[in-house]
Structure 1
Amino acid sequence: MEMTKLRIAVFNMRPDEEEFFSIYGEQYHTELSVTNEPPTLCNLSVTEGCQAVSVITTPIGRELLDAWKAQGIQTISTRTVGYDHIDLAYAKEIGITVSNVSYTPHTVAEYTVMAMLMTIRKMKTILLRYQVQDYSLSQVRGRELGNMTVGVVGTGKIGEMVIRNLSGFGCRIFAFDPYEKESVKAFAQYTNLDTIWKECDMITFHTPALESTYHMVREETLNQMKQGVILINMARGAIMDTDALIKALESGKVAAAALDVIENEGKIYYKDYKYAVTGNHDMALLSTMPNVLMTPHTAFFTDEAVSDMIQYSIESCVAELKNEENPRRIL
C-alpha cells in the first residue's frame, strides 16, 4: 500500500490540535478525515474510506468496533497515554490493533511539582482571598517541601522526572515500582508501599489504570498513612476510592489533596459546564474544600506534549498500515 493512500479518521480534534495535524499529516503523507465530534454510531461517515482511527478518551465499545471493522478500519491509535476507554479484548478478537502515545515527561512532572508547592503553600485559599481583598494571614501558613518525606508511586518516565525535579528541593524521597530503575536510585530510595503509607508526609501517584492499581488509595491504605498526609494524583482517577478520600479529608486524616484526575470524569472534563449541572456529586463536594486543589485533567497540556501526541498517533497508524514495527502498539 502506498503511503499517499493512507487515510486516517480523526475524532475529537480540538482547535489547538489543528496546526499539528496539518504538519504531521503532511509529513507522513496521510489524508485525514477530521471531526471535532466524539466517535459514535451516528458519525460513521467520518471513517468511510479510512484504514485507521485516531481518538482520545471517548469509550470505544463492541458496537463501534464492529462498525469500524466492517468499514475496513485496521488500527486505532488513542492520542493519550491511558487506553482503558477502549475494549482491548474485543479489538484483539476482531483483529484491530490498538496503540497509545507518549509525550515529554517534563509536562506532567513539572505540573506535579507545581501542584505540590501550591498545595503545601495553600495557594487556593490565598488566591481566592486576594480576589476579595482579604490579605490576612489566618489559616494560610504553609510548609517547606525540603523538610518533608515524599513518596513517589510509579517510577516510569514521569515518575522518574518528578523524582529528579524533587531532588533539587532537598526532601527525602521514597519510591515504589514493581520494576526498579538504577537511574532512580541516585535520587530516591526504593521501598514497599507499606513503608510509603506509614512514613511519607506527601504521596504522589504516577501509575497507569490497571487492575492492580484500582483503588490503591482506599480506606484500608488511608488508615495506614500518616495523620495529615497530603495526596497528589496527576495519573488516573481510578487509583483513588473517591468516597474514602472524601471521608479522610473530612476527618483530617488527609490534610490536603491535589487532583488533576477523578473517578467518572470522562463525560465532564474538556467541556464547558458553567451554566449546567455536572451530576458528579463527589467532584462538586471536593471542589468546595479549601484544602483540595482540582484541575480538569490538564497536567499534560503543553505545546510540546500536544505535538508529541499527534505525531506519535499518526506515526503509529502509518506503521501499522505499512506492517512496520510500532513500539507504541498495546496489542
Structure 2
Amino acid sequence: MKLVFYGLWEDERSKLEELHKKYGFDYEATAEELSLLNVSLSEGCAGVSVLGKGAVGDDLLSALHGYGVKFLATRSIGYNHIDLAAAKKYGFKLCNSQYPPDSVAEFTLMLILMSLRKYKQALWLQQVNDYALEHLKGGVLSQKTVGVVGTGHIGGRVIELLSGFGCRLLCHSADYDPKVAQIAEYTDLDTLYQSSDILTFHVPLLPSTKHMVNAEALKKMKEGVVLINTARGELFETEALIGGVENRKIGALAMDVFEGEDGIYHMDRTDDIIRNRDMAYLRQFPNVILTQHMAFYTQLSMDSMMENSVEGLLDFNRKGTNRFEIRF
C-alpha cells in the first residue's frame, strides 16, 4: 500500500520513518500543503494524509478521486477544513487523529493563570524596567467559579486539572460524562454563562457552535469575565470580543486560536504586513493574550497524530474502517 503525506513537518519525519519500518508501506511526502499544483503526487496512492491547515474542497477531492485515492486522513482533531459533502460525493473514507489531552489541557490551565495574574502586563513592564506592582494585582483561582464548555477528551482533562485548585467547577456539554459529573456540576449554557468568573471552551467547530460567543452571549456573562479559547477561533465572534474588551465586559481574554488565522499562524511573517486588523487591534490590549495555535504542539501530540493517521489509513485498507473514522 502506498500513502502520501502533505504538509509534513520536520519533527514528524522520524515517527513516519519508524512507522514505515514497522508496517512496510510505501510513501511519498512533501512539506507543501495539498494543492492543485501538487495533487498529482497522490497518483497511485490509496491514502492521503494532510496536516489540517489548508482547505480541502471539492476541487481537490475531485482531483484525488481521479488519481484513485480512496482514503483521507487529517493529522488533527478538527476536520472542518475538509468539505464533507464533497468527500461523501466522491466516496472517500475519512478519519481524524487524536492525541493525549494533556498538551492542550495544560496549556489551557497556563492561560487561565496568566490571565488571572496579569502576566502579560508584568512582562511588558519589565521590558522598560518598571517593577512597580501598581497595575498587577491578580486574582486567586481557588476563589473563582470556572465554567467548562465541552467535557470531551480535552475538556474533561481540563476539569481534572482544575479540580486540584479548589475552584467551583461548572460544565456544559452535548454529552454527559459520569466521571466528570463527580467533580463538576453539569448545567445549562445560560446558567454556566451567568455563574462563571472564567469560561473555557473545548468544543468542535460546527454550524451550531460557530460564533457561540457573540454579543448576545456576552450579555449573559458576568462583568469582567475571563474567556479562554484553545479550540477553534471561529467559536468566538471577533467583533463581539473587541466590543467586550473595550467596554470592560471581558476582564481578560486568552486565545490560542483566532478567526481568520489561516495564512498567518504557523508561518514566519516577520517581514510581512499582516492584513488582519482585528488581530492586530486585539493583540495590543494589556489584558488580551494571543498565542499562535500552539497548545497542541508537543512531541507527544505530533507522534500521536502521525501514528493515528498512518494506522487509520492502513486499517481502512485492511478492515474497511478504523477507530477514528468520521462518519458523515
The alignment status of 1:213 with 2:200, answered yes or no, reads no
Residue 68 of structure 2 is aligned to residue 104 of structure 1:
no
Q: Distance in 2 between matches of 1:324 and 1:49?
A: 19
Give yes or no for the alignment of 1:117 onto 2:113.
yes
How far apart are 1:172 and its partner, in Å?
0.3
- Residue 54 of structure 1 corresponds to 49
CA distance in 1, matches of 2:206, 2:232: 10
Which residue of 25, 28, 40 maps to 1:30?
Answer: 25
Match of 2:38 in 1: 43
Matches within 5 A, 1:289-308: 289-308=285-304
Question: Which deviates more from structure 2 when the two are superposed, residues 145-154 or residues 92-101?
Answer: 92-101
Does residue 258 of the first structure (1) align with residue 240 of the second (2)? no
C-alpha separation between the residues in 1 aligned to 2:205 and 2:21?
Answer: 34
Shift of 1:324: 4.1
Alignment of 1:177 with 2:173, yes or no, is yes
Deviations 1:72-94 (A, max 9, x none): 10011000000010011111111
Which structure 2 residue ranges, 5 or more long, are not aligned?
Answer: none
Comparing 88-97 with 159-168, greater Cα deviation is found at 88-97
Kindly indicate whether the alpha-carbon contact (under 8 Å) linking 1:28 and 1:314 is maintained by their aligned counterparts in 2.
no
Measured after TM superposition, the shift of residue 186 of structure 1 is: 1.3
Query: Is the 8 Å Cα contact of residues 40 and 67 (structure 2) preserved in structure 1?
Result: no
The code of the aligned residue for 1:236 comes to R
Q: Does the Cα contact within 8 Å between 1:35 and 1:46 map onto a contact in 2?
A: no
CA RMSD of aligned residues (A): 1.0
The whole-number CA distance in structure 1 between the counterparts of 2:206 and 2:137 is 38
Of residues 138-147 and 128-137 in structure 1, the stretch that sits farther from structure 2 once superposed is 128-137
Q: Deviation digits for residues 198-251 of structure 1, max 9, x if unmatched?
A: 110000000000111111100001011000000000001111101001100010
Report the CA distance between 1:28 and its aligned residue. 2.2
| In 2, Cα distance between equivalents of 1:184 and 1:113 | 17
For 2:325 and 2:211, locate their aligned partners in 1 and report how far apart those are by CA, in whole Å: 26
Deviation beyond 3 Å, 4+ runs, structure 1? none
Percent identity, aligned pairs only, is 41
Q: In 2, are the aligned partners of 1:125 and 1:290 still within 8 Å (CA)?
A: yes
Q: Distance in 1 between matches of 2:178 and 2:120?
A: 37
> Could you tell me the TM-score, scaled by structure 1's length?
0.97
Inter-partner Cα distance in structure 2 for 1:133 and 1:98? 53
**Counterparts of 2:17 and 2:278, CA distance in 1:** 39
Q: How big is the shift at 1:323?
A: 2.9
Which residue number in structure 1 is paired with residue 126 of structure 2?
Answer: 130
Equivalent residue in structure 2 for 1:190, among 168, 186, 198: 186
Structure 1's unaligned 5+ residue stretches are 1-5
Q: Please tell me whether the aligned partners of residues 96 and 325 of structure 2 are also in contact (alpha carbons under 8 angstroms).
A: yes
Secondary structure at the residue paired with 2:37?
A: helix
Q: Which amino acid in the other structure matches residue 31 of structure 1? A: D
Q: What's the counterpart of residue 8 of structure 1?
A: 3
Following the alignment from structure 1 to structure 2, what is the Cα–Cα distance between the partners of residues 321 and 134? 62
Which of residues 151, 154, 164 is equivalent to 1:155? 151
> Of 239, 243, 247, which aligns to 2:239?
243
Instruction: Measure, in 1, the Cα distance between the counterparts of 2:323 and 2:39.
Output: 28
Give the Å deviation of 1:161: 0.4
Q: What is the DSSP-based 3-state SS (H/G/I as helix, E as strand, rest coil) of the residue aligned with 1:42?
A: coil
**Aligned equivalent of 1:3:** none
Asked if 1:72 corresponds to 2:68, the answer is yes
1:11 alignment partner AA: Y
Moved more, 198-207 or 16-25: 16-25
